[in-house]
């Protein structure tokens, strides 16, 4: 067997196991047809108007397992794109399509329809978070702009601030720096502050702010550790190579008991950053 | 911008205005996000290709096909190319490149809407537009046939298969006689900037090992090859490919015994972020070697001087990150003067190699002596 065939076989196994895992446990699936000759029954059950959404979601999962890998996406794609379908069925379809996006040999062919279906799913609150994850992972510009609009105007927000920032942080070209700065300056909560700082950790112009945060003992340890990591990323020479006496003592495992836990954790974090950064740079 | 594009769409009186607006250095790109840049460029290409795509716009269209990254722009470029008066065999390679790269990033777009967003208008995809344009080539697309047939044999899915069938039939059944490659869009050097090395001689650079040096230190004395990149570039057909090609060019120089007589440099567009450890890692990742005569560089001086000297086709968003750049490679003589420039479309390693080798001759040596006096 060639490496390519072996890889395809593995991917199909993963997709099948994933489809099985996506089926609701217990109840409905016990009533499902499951034999190799039952594909037609499964297909009709998936859209049967009198079957419960749970049963139809389970049937969809089993149908995907039985279909040819190159065509298995068709039924879940149709379910996801249907705005009149029950949200739980659409969510199950979305989960199946995420798996098929990895394993389907025809994914490039149906990727445009998948993204289109996901964009239409954003209006459904039950689906929104899952759809946003995939769309931002795929670098969808229109989704990025919607998230940015929501950060600038809370009335347009699709998700909470920290969630939106986390989604946008995966693409340095999402143009989110200024919004992150604004959030960091007036954060609605600690989670939003941390997400904003993670974005600014790749912004060379934020070095001064990170130096200040690292030195500010009134800030939480999570914020100060993040500031240290950011400085190590942007201007490692500004990382305190000789922290104050208390930090040095902790780094040397001396008098550790006399140092507050937070300071101890921060000193260890900085010590790790410095140790890793000592790896020589070769020409 | 939208109003201007709408007013001038398909009007030849606006051609030069639109071409000027496609230059990455145009102030219209200062401080805007990447998504906005994509929308603006797509609108400009559509406007230029509304009736008959002018030949002067071909480099911009072919660039989007050869180095595709955004489905909307690729679809727009493919659509615009179909409005060029003459199909040409020279379009085959960029179109096949688009087909190869954008397939993994394909998306539903609407060419009638600004940016391709929304649910209004006729949906299409980048791959569909590219395949349709290959079919439009007819006889001129014959060289694409083996690749199209290979793709078709791989059972790509029903939609792509149908599109491929149509394109293959269009090429096979085209009765027209193939015309010679037209229009002067063949790969070639463009005019070199007129700026003098004196403008940047004292500009301080830093290499991948952290060593500080001036422009004069590295670029005066031997001919050199210079390319530009940045490590946060997310288009695999631009910076990663540029650095990988530079690595192959270095190997070629070494094989020819010219590794010490021709220098190479890759300079980052993003010097504040691309610190030496990042330069090292990036060079290693994409196969560029570094030594005394072959370096990855960032400026620690005034980036504006570098931009002006090389007339770099780059711009930055308000986050300070590159929002758009073209592909660009330069050959400098031993006086540090730019003598050859390849921009926008992929440069060929042999093209750059030969241009640099030509500068190692005796005649150039005399010029170098003059150059070293400044």
pLDDT (average), residues A231-235: 94
Q: Report the residue from A108, A140, A204 with minimal CB separation from B103.
A: A108
Q: Would you call B369 exposed, middle or buried from its count of C-beta atoms within 10 A (0-12, 13-18, 19+)? A: exposed
At B267-284, the pLDDT tens digits run: 999 999 999 999 999 999
Instruction: Give me the pLDDT at residue B236, please.
Output: 95
Q: Which two tokens stand for residue A82?
A: 């249907």
pLDDT score of A262: 79
**Per-chain mean pLDDT for chain B:** 91
Token pair for A84:
């009149």
How far is the C-alpha of B140 from the C-alpha of B135, rounded, in Å? Answer: 9
Interchain proximity A172–B234, CB inside 8 Å: yes
pLDDT tens digits, residue range A69-109? 899 999 999 999 999 999 999 999 999 999 999 999 999 99
Predicted pLDDT at B347: 94
Strands (E), chain B: 108-110, 123-125, 204-207, 212-214, 224-229, 263-268, 294-299, 314-316, 322-325, 328-332, 338-343
Could you report the per-residue pLDDT of B314-339, keeping only the tens digit for each? Answer: 999 988 999 999 999 999 999 999 99
CA–chain centroid gap for B24, Å, is: 11
Segment A125-169, tens digit of pLDDT: 999 999 999 999 999 999 999 999 999 999 999 999 999 999 999
Question: Which pLDDT value is given to residue B348?
Answer: 93
3-state DSSP of chain A: CCHHHHHHHHHHHHHHHHHHHHCCCCHHHHHCCCCHHHHHHHHHHHCCCCCCHHHHHHHHHHHHHHCCCCCCCHHHHHHHHCCCCCHHHHHHHHHHHHHHHHHCCCHHHHHHHHHHHHHHHCCCHHHHHHHHHHHHHCCCHHHHHHHHHHHHCHHHCCCCHHHHHHHHCCCHHHCCHHHHHHHHHCCCCHHHHHHHHHHHCCCHHHHHHHHHHHHCCCCCHHHHHHHHHHHHHHCHHHCCCCCCHHHHHHHCCCCHHHCCHHHHHHHHHHHHHHHHHCCCCCC
Cα B199 from Cα B304, distance rounded (Å): 11
Rounded Cα distance between B126 and B111, Å, is 10
Statement: residue B70 has pLDDT above 90: yes
**What ipTM was predicted for this assembly?**
0.87
pLDDT for res B374: 40
Residues of chain B contacting residue A105, judged by C-beta atoms under 8 Å apart: 155
Nearest by CB to residue B318, choosing from A139, A178, A202, is A178
Q: What is the pLDDT of residues B18-29, one digit of tens each?
A: 999 999 999 999
pLDDT digits (tens, 9 = 90+) for A9-48: 766 666 666 666 555 555 555 566 665 557 788 888 888 8
pLDDT at B365 over 50: no
Closest-CA distance of chain B to residue A254, Å: 32
* Residue A67 at interface with chain B, using a CB cutoff of 8 Å: no
Q: What is the pLDDT of residue B370?
A: 44
Which residues neighbour B9 within 8 Å (Cβ) at sequence distance 6 or greater? B46, B47, B50
Q: Could you tell me the two tokens for B364?
A: 């150039």
| pLDDT value of position A18 | 61
Query: Do B157 and A282 make contact, defined as CB atoms within 8 angstroms?
Result: no
In whole angstroms, what is the distance from residue A58 CA to residue A191 CA?
36
Q: Which residues in A206-226 are b (16+ Cβ under 10 Å) and which e?
A: bbebbbebbeeeebebebbbb
A·B CB contacts under 8 A: 102
Query: Nearest Cα to B303, choosing from B277, B269, B330, B337?
Result: B269
Contacts of B127 in chain A (CB under 8 A): 108, 112
Q: How far apart are CA A135 and CA B210, in angstroms?
A: 39
Whole-number mean pLDDT of chain A? 86
Portion of chain B with pLDDT greater than 70, in percent = 93
| Residue of B327, B364, B348, B346 whose CA lies nearest to B224 | B364
Name which residue leads in pLDDT, A198 or A277. A198
Indicate whether B85 pLDDT > 90.
Answer: yes
State the number of CA atoms in the 13 A half-sphere of A220 facing the CB: 9
Q: What does chain B come to in residues?
A: 374
Average pLDDT over every residue of B150-170: 95
- What's the confidence (pLDDT) of residue A10? 67
> Could you count the other beta carbons within 10 Å of the beta carbon of residue A282?
9
CA A197, chain centre distance (Å) = 17
Helix (H, G, I), strand (E, B) or coil at B309: helix
Q: Residue B25 has which token pair?
A: 């250095």
Stretch B114-125: mean pLDDT = 82
- Give the mutation candidate from B29, B30, B31, B33 for the A interface (greatest A CB count, under 10 A): B33
Are residues B75 and B46 in contact, defined by beta-carbon separation less than 8 angstroms?
no
Of A70, A115, A173, the CB nearest to B157: A70
Tell whether A170 is within 8 A of chain B (Cβ). Answer: no
Q: Count of CB atoms within 10 A of residue B187's CB?
A: 15
- Please report the pLDDT score of residue A132 as a whole number: 98
Distance CA(A195)–CA(A7), nearest Å, equals 36
Residue A181 forms contact with B (CB below 8 Å):
no
**Of A173, A205, A281, which has the smallest distance from its Cβ to B34's Cβ?**
A173
Instruction: Let me know: does A48 contact A56? Beta carbons within 8 Å.
Output: yes
- pLDDT, residue A167, reads 98
**Per-residue confidence band for B366, with pLDDT thresholds at 50, 70 and 90:** very low
């Amino acid at each position: 067997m060639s490496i390519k065939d072996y890889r395809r076989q593995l991917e199909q196994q993963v997709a099948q196991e994933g489809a099985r895992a996506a089926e609701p446990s217990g109840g409905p699936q016990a009533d499902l047809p499951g034999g190799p000759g039952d594909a037609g029954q499964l297909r009709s059950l998936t859209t049967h108007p009198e079957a419960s959404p749970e049963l139809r979601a389970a049937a969809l999962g089993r149908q995907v397992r039985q279909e040819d890998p190159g065509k298995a996406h068709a039924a879940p794609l149709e379910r996801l794109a249907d705005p009149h379908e029950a949200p739980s069925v659409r969510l199950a379809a979305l989960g199946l399509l995420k798996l098929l996006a990895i394993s389907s040999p025809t994914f490039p062919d149906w990727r445009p329809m998948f993204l289109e279906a996901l964009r239409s799913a954003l209006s459904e609150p039950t689906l929104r978070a899952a759809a946003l994850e995939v769309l931002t992972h795929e670098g969808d510009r229109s989704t990025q702009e919607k998230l940015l609009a929501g950060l600038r105007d809370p009335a347009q927000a699709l998700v909470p601030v920290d969630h939106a920032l986390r989604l946008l942080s995966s693409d340095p070209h999402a143009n989110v720096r200024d919004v992150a700065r604004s959030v960091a300056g007036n954060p609605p909560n600690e989670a939003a502050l941390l997400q904003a700082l993670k974005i600014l950790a790749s912004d060379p112009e934020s070095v001064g702010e990170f130096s200040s945060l690292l030195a500010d003992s009134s800030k939480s340890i999570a914020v100060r550790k993040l500031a240290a990591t950011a400085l190590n990323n942007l201007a490692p020479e500004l990382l305190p190579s000789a922290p104050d006496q208390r930090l040095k003592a902790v780094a040397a495992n001396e008098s550790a008991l006399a140092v507050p836990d937070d300071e101890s954790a921060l000193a260890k974090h900085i010590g790790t950053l410095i140790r890793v950064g000592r790896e020589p740079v070769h020409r | 911008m939208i109003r201007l594009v709408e007013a001038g769409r398909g009007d030849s009186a606006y051609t030069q205005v639109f071409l000027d607006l496609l230059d990455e250095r145009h102030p219209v790109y200062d401080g805007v996000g990447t998504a906005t840049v994509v929308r603006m460029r797509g609108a400009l290409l559509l406007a230029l290709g509304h009736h008959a795509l002018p030949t002067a716009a071909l480099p911009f269209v072919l660039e989007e096909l050869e180095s595709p990254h955004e489905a909307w722009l690729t679809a727009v470029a493919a659509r615009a190319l179909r409005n060029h008066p003459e199909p040409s065999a020279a379009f085959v390679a960029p179109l096949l490149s688009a087909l190869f790269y954008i397939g993994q990033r394909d998306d539903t777009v609407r060419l009638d809407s600004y940016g391709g967003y929304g649910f209004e208008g006729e949906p299409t995809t980048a791959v569909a537009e590219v395949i349709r344009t290959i079919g439009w080539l007819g006889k001129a697309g014959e060289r694409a046939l083996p690749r199209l047939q290979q793709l078709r044999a791989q059972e790509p899915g029903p939609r792509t298969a149908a599109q491929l069938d149509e394109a293959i039939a269009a090429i096979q059944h085209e009765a027209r006689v193939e015309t010679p490659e037209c229009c002067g869009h063949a790969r070639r050097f463009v005019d070199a900037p007129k700026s003098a090395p004196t403008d940047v001689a004292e500009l301080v650079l830093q290499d991948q090992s952290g060593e500080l040096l001036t422009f004069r230190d590295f670029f005066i004395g031997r001919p050199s090859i210079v390319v530009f990149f940045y490590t946060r570039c997310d288009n695999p057909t631009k910076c990663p490919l540029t650095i990988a090609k530079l690595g192959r060019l270095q190997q070629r120089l070494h094989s020819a015994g010219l590794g010490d007589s021709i220098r190479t440099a890759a300079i980052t567009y993003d010097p504040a972020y691309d610190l030496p450890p990042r330069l090292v890692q990036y060079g290693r990742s994409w196969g560029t070697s570094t030594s005394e005569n072959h370096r990855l560089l960032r400026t620690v001086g005034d980036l504006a001087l570098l931009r002006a000297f090389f007339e770099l086709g780059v711009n930055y968003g308000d986050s300070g990150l590159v929002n758009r750049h073209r592909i660009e490679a330069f050959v400098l003589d031993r006086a540090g003067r730019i003598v050859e420039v390849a921009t926008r479309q992929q440069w060929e390693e042999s093209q750059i190699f030969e241009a640099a080798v030509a500068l190692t001759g005796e005649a150039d040596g005399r010029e170098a002596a003059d150059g070293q006096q400044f």
